[in-house]
Amino acid sequence: MNREAIRKMTQQERLQAMENLWDVLTSEGTEFDSPLWHQEILASRAGNLEKGNARFVPLGELKAEK
């Protein structure tokens, strides 16, 4: 399937295709390594927590701030 075929799909068809892909990927039992950039972000956030420069915010409180 190419991009043009995907563009011709309805939103519902695209979502169903994504669900099907995810089901196949997760059912194969293959583990994926996180990309390096993801590990770097997590390390940075952990460092911020350790230094007291970050805090956990409940989702409801975060939504209320917007």
Buried b (16+ CB within 10 A) or exposed e, 17-44: eeeeeeeeeeeeeeeeeeeeeeeeeeee
Residue 52 has φ and ψ, to the nearest 5°, of: 80, 20
Give the integer Cα–Cα distance in Å for 53 and 47. Answer: 8
Give the integer Cα–Cα distance in Å for 55 and 65. Answer: 15
pLDDT digits (tens, 9 = 90+) for 50-66: 999 998 889 999 899 87
pTM of the model: 0.48
Residues 6+ apart with CB under 8 A from 6: 14, 17
pLDDT digits (tens, 9 = 90+) for 20-38: 999 998 898 777 788 999 9
